[in-house]
Each structure stands twice: as C-alpha cells, then as structure tokens.
A and B are shown apart, each in its own frame.
Chain A
Amino acid sequence: MLTCTRRDFFRTAGAGLLAFALGPRASAQPKEIVIGHQAPLTGAVAQFGPWHNRAIRAVIDRINAAGGISSLPLVLVTEDEASNPEIGQDKFRKLVLQEGADFVIGSVWSATNLATAPLARELKTVYFPQGIATEITGEAGNRYIFKSYHTVRGAVNAGARWTVENLGKRWTIVASQLEFAQSQAADWRAQLEALGAEIVDVITIPFRPADFLPYVSRVNVDRTEVLYQAFTALDTIRFLQAARDLGLHERLKILGLIEGIDVLDTNSPAFEGTYYITSYPRRASQVPEELQELDPVYRRSLDIDEEGRSPQGTVVPIADLFGSWQALSLIRKGIEQSGWQSKADNSAFIQALEGRNWSAGLEFPQGDGFLRPEDHLAFHGHYIEHVEKGQLNVLLRISRDASLYSPLIDYTQQEL
C-alpha cells in the first residue's frame, strides 16, 4: 500500500517539475533593451517601491516615445523584492536569468543592495542600487554597481559644517540598527570628530521596536545640544512622537536626513522645528531659481503637485526618485556613447560612464552632477530644510563640492 503511494508521489512530483521546467526561459531578444526593477512593493519600505516604479515607467515611456535608445525600445520588468535581502537576491536572479534583464535598477533597501552586489558581478549585469548605505560604493560593491544618487557619506559631508556651526557642538546620535542608519552613525562620528564637535552618546535601536520610550528616555538631555536621528520613515514618526512626549523637542535641535521623512506629511506637531539635510526641496516654491524651469517638467511627469503630493494627496518621495530617474538617464548616455548592443558590450558601457559629468537639464533635473570613476558614485548639490508651521523650508543650498570625500575603493582597477 505504501509502495503505491510512493510511486504516485514520484509521478506527481515529476509532472510538477516538468511544468516548472517548461516555464518561460531567458531568451535573447536583440531588438529591445530590458530594464529590470527590483522593487520594494511590499514590506518595510513599500512606500517607496511603487513611486520608483512609476518614475521608471514615466522615463521609459518618454524615451520610447522619442524612438528608444539607439533605436532600441525599452521594456520594463518589475519584481517585488518585499524589502527582504533574500527575496531581493531571488528576484535579481529571476530578472536576469529568467526575464533576460540587461540592466537592473535596485531597491531602496540597503540590505537588499548589499546582498545583490555580488550577484551583479557574477552575472555581469550593471546594477543601480537605490539604497544609500555608504558601503555599497566601497568593499561591498564592485565595478558593476553604479550609484546614480548620493550615499550617506556624501549627504553627511554636505551638511556637517553648517549644522555644527549653527545647531550645536554636543551631539547624541539615535540610529536604527539597519545598515543605512548605522552608516549614518559611523559617518557622522568621523565628521564630528574632524570638526571638533563632541559625541555625547550613540543609541542604537532595533528596527521597528515595540516601544520607543525605553530608548528615547536614555538621551542625556542636559549634555546634548543636537539630537541626530536615523530611521526609516515609519520609525521616524514614532521616534519624533516619543521625543515630543518626553519634551525633548523643547530643549534640543533634532536633525536627520530627508530619507527618514520623505514620504511623511510634516504637518503634525511632532515634526515642528526639526531640521533635515535634503537633496531637493519638497515644495516647488523653495526650488532655486536656476532650476525653476525644469522643476515643473519633473513634477508633471511624475504627477507631483507644488507641495510634493500626488493627486491622491499622499506625500511623494520627490528627492528619492531622482535616483531611478538619473539611473535611466545614465543608461541612455552609456549606451549612446559606447554603442552598446548587448551585454557583451557591458565593459565599454561601464567605461563610458566612469567619470561622467552632466549639467542640469531634462535628463538631470536635480542639477549639475558628476559620477566619480573610482567608486561609481554620483555627486550633486544639497539643501538644509527646516519645518516651520508644518512646512519644509529651505534654509541653505550646499554646493556639490561640499559633499566630496576621498573614494573608499578604486573599481577602475577591477577586471570587467
């Protein structure tokens, strides 16, 4: 009786495997360029994935309407990486090996970026991670990784001098345990030491703790002037609320990177008076004069209004989307310059991008920029913004050069 069962099992299993094997296979389609999007559509950073996907779609539609790149049309394939590095790896494999993606634009989840980087090298596929952990442009990355937008260290360097001079010299850093937040803690430590500021304490908080109060209660209010916070959006609200419950907002200046709040509505008491280092003003009225012609074009193609909201009224991570936008612009520049036809031409493509400069324009509406050859990292301008009466206002514009730092690695020495 048992034998019969077993044979039946093997038969069923065999049929299943066969069906699985006959699924779609990677096929070389020379007539199009396949862009893969490893998107966090669900999970911890699900608020970002759909917007990035939409931005990518918008740029692709515009490029295709103008006849594609080198007369090859672009095709988008999206896979949900669920804000999870393991799934992110699987989806990268699937995009490249099964769907035949030529270039992959990555998640904003840094852990996924770091786990995917070795796969990009192994599969010789150019990968544009959207997370901001500094390590992705260091030992953890490789020559197939291009960072089309800033990393933590660039942003920290941009804002360090002004914040130390204007907000205070005694800092407490409160940071999530996640890679991108730990990156911030480490980079600030180095910058603050260099500028002669004092670090009172560094408090590490797990991702999405049940309760913020036990952590926030440890902030030494008497000795601290600046409270630096590094969290993902959802934790940022809870942190700010806890800080307010304990009255910290009355006694300290609270500072963070825009990445922590760029999907949040600042019109709530918890945000009042907080400072952010940002890379693009949320509100159209705050955009500097020389970019004011491009700003409406950018907002219109992404359906973002002058206050940084979608038609449904939700806050769009307007600055964050430049990463995906510029990745596609760079793909276009690379292909046009290197005469890329297929992945076999990837080495020419990569060399064409290393050291590229660009100036503000429809392809780069954020402003002038530069892709450093050694670590494939983009440098661009920054801003300091401040929440007054529930709205983000620009206090200062910071030039591209302020964010420069010496590269952690030299990819140009790596073989392709």
Chain B
Amino acid sequence: MRKLFAFGVVFALMAIAPGLLNPYQLSILLKILIWGLFAMSYDLVFGYTGLLSLGHSVYFGLGAYGAALMMLQMHPGIAISLAAGVLLGGLAAALIGLLAVRSGGHGFIIVTAVTALLFYLLAQSQRNVTGGDDGLTLGPLPLQIAGWSAGCADPGPAYLLVLVVAGLSFLLLYALVRAPLGLALRCVRENEPRAQALGYDTITLKWLAFALSGGAAALAGALYALTNCHISTALFHWLVSADALIWTLFGGMGTLVGPLLGTGVFFILREGLSGIWQVGYPILVGLTLLLIARFFPQGLLGIIKGLGQTLRGFSR
C-alpha cells in the first residue's frame, strides 16, 4: 500500500512538471521517461533473468521505425502507431529469442550483439525506407489537450501521454516481476540447474522474459519516434543496448526503479557536463562502471539500502 502511495506521489509530481519546467527541461524529462522505460525493459532480462543482452537496441529501433513508418504512411491515430511499433519489435524479439536463449551464457551475449549489427546493417542498406544515417523526420505528434498542442520543440501534452504510458508500463512490469513468473525468473538467474531440477522449463522462461522485454523496449522506441520528430538507424547500434546496461547496472539491477533512477542520473549528469567536459563524459561513465563492478554490484539502490541499514544500526 505504501509502495502504491509512493508511486502515486511521484506520478503526481511528474504530472505537474510541465507547470514548473521550461519546455527544454520538459523535453529532457520526457527523454528520461522514455529511455527509463527502455532500461526497465532491459532489467527484465538482465536484472531478473541474468541474461546480458547487447541486442536490445534492435527492439527499440524496430519499435521506433514501426511506429514512425505507420504514422508517416497511413496517418492513423497515436494508439495504432504505437501498437504497430510494439508488434514489430515484440515479434522480432519473440523470433530472435528462440535462437538467442538456446545459445548459453557467453553465446547469448555474442548472439545478441551480432543481431544488433545485423539489424543495423539491414537498416543502413534500406535507405529508402529508413533514411540511413540521416534518418527520418516526422511531424509533431497529432495530440491536443484543451488547446495545448504537442510540438517537436516543446513536447507539451506529448509529455503527459508518455508519462501515462510509462507509468502504466511500470505498474505492469512491477506486477509481472512480483507474480510467480518473476520468482521463477529469479530462480533461473540464481541457479539454472536447480531451477531445471525443480521442474521449471528454463528455456521457455528465458524466452518469455526476452520476448516481453523486447515488447517493452519496442514500446519505448515507438514513444521515442512519435515524440522526438526524428529517428535514424543509429538507434539499432549495439552501443544503445550498452547504454541500457549502464543505466540498469548503475541504478541497481533487478529492481525496476533502479534502471529508471540510473537513466535519470546519467541524463542530468550529461546535461550538467554538456559544454564543460562533453568529450570526457564517456570516460566518467567508464570509471563509474569499473567502480560499480568492483565495489557496488548492487548499484545506487544497493548503496542507498546499505546506507539506510547503517543509519538504522547507529540509531539502535
């Protein structure tokens, strides 16, 4: 109940953000929500199931292009365009997952990384459809709430749409990982042979996590395409997947909120460093990762949790 209350408070705070922030800051917050959703989807396979994927950019990219092309070609409503993106990305994840989850721990990393290269090359070779490196430019989202219309520079109500969709996705993912399925996934992560001995069909479980996660990543991609007004084939690059890995690990894997938190911290950090030390930003990320890998594998949430316990220890 308290969790639900906390969620409600944050959601309400986020909902009044358009009144507090200038449009530029709002557009950054919008990106944090979208990429945060992507990181949460990544957490489902990485944090909960223990599979390190370098190919999640594929589903984000397919979601983005599915939604964008639907919007550009058929001009349907927002819901149908989003659905097209999710369907395309989700189906691809379900199909690729069949091969990927069978290829063992180390093989999985390589297979997913190579799918990212494959889709990147395919997207590059179909310039007529994808726009190649230059990408596609879309018009603003056809959304208007009480005379307040969405734009490409000032997201306006598009922000609210993304907030609602991201909030619902969060609740859904949260319910999923609390359900027996989530427990089973964690069981696979901790000890796969034992999970098998307990009668779990671990391959199917991993596949399910992979496909669901791919669908959620595609949703993030579709939201990105529709609100950003521009997409390019760079979205398919495996480094985009690695971003999700960084944010998830930094925030705290296997927690769902951690990845969202990690995304936010990194975006605000990048914003703060822009102009000062932009070239150095990736070095900072690298060093942070090394520190986390060595000393805080539980990420930021783990640190906070540890601090909380220490404090309680003192007050006792």
Contact = CB atoms under 8 A, between A and B. Distances in A.
B20 A21 contact: yes
Contacts of A80: 274-275, 278
Contact of B124 (A98, A111, A177): A177
Contacts of B258: 9
A118 interface: yes
A212 to B, nearest CB: 16
Interface stretch (A85-93, A295-303, A355-363): A85-93
A218 interface: no
A196 interface: no
Contact of A14 (B13, B139, B265, B279): B13
B298 to A, nearest CB: 10
B2 to A, nearest CB: 5
B154 A5 contact: no
Given A8-B308, A10-B9, A16-B265, A93 B137 contact: no
A115 B135 contact: yes
Interface stretch (B160-168, B207-215, B229-237, B289-297): B229-237
Interface in A86-145: 86, 89-90, 92-94, 96-98, 110-111, 114-115, 117-119, 122-123, 140
B132 interface: yes
A175 to B, nearest CB: 12
A122 B133 contact: no
A204 B134 CA distance: 14
A151 to B, nearest CB: 16
Which one of B22, B134, B154, B255 has the greatest number of beta carbons of chain A within 10 Å?
B134
Contact of A93 (B23, B234, B308): B23
Given A119-B153, A140-B137, A86 B230 contact: yes
Interface of A: 1-10, 12-14, 16-17, 19-21, 23, 25-26, 42, 79-80, 82, 84-86, 89-90, 92-94, 96-98, 110-111, 114-115, 117-119, 122-123, 140, 177-179, 204, 206-207
Contact of B153 (A26, A79, A123): A123
Which bucket holds chain B's interface residue count? 35 or more
B278 A93 contact: no
B250 to A, nearest CB: 13
Which one of B6, B9, B124 has the greatest number of beta carbons of chain A within 10 Å?
B6
B190 to A, nearest CB: 18
A98 B274 contact: no
Contacts of B153: 92-93, 96-97, 119, 122-123
B261 A5 contact: no
Contacts of B265: 16
Nearest to A117: B137
Contacts of A123: 153-154
A321 to B, nearest CB: 23
B285 interface: no
A160 to B, nearest CB: 25
Contacts of B275: 79-80
A118 B133 contact: no
Contact of B230 (A10, A17, A85, A94): A85
B22 A9 contact: no
Contact of B301 (A5, A85, A89): A5
A3 B22 contact: no
A122 B135 CA distance: 20
Nearest to B155: A93
Given A13-B10, A16-B268, A21-B25, A3 B261 contact: no
Contact of B22 (A10, A98, A110, A122): A98
Contacts of B24: 26, 93-94, 97-98
Contacts, number: 136
Contacts of A122: 140, 151-154
Given A14-B13, A86-B228, A118 B278 contact: no
Contact of B229 (A6, A82, A118, A177): A118
Contacts of A94: 24
B21 interface: yes
Which one of B24, B234, B271, B301 has the greatest number of beta carbons of chain A within 10 Å?
B24
A26 B307 CA distance: 38
A26 B25 CA distance: 11
Given A111-B135, A122-B154, A178-B134, A6 B3 contact: yes
Contacts of A4: 305, 308
A9 B278 contact: no
Contacts of B140: 118, 122
Given A9-B257, A80-B278, A97-B153, A89 B124 contact: no
A97 B27 CA distance: 11
A13 B2 contact: no
Nearest to B151: A122
B23 to A, nearest CB: 5
B229 A115 contact: yes
Contacts of B21: 21
Contacts of A96: 153
Contacts of A119: 152-153, 229
A98 B301 CA distance: 32
Contacts of B278: 42, 80, 82
A156 B3 CA distance: 65
A2 B24 CA distance: 34
Interface string B21-63: 1111101110000000000000000000000000000000000
A177 B154 CA distance: 31
A20 B301 contact: no
A179 B230 CA distance: 15
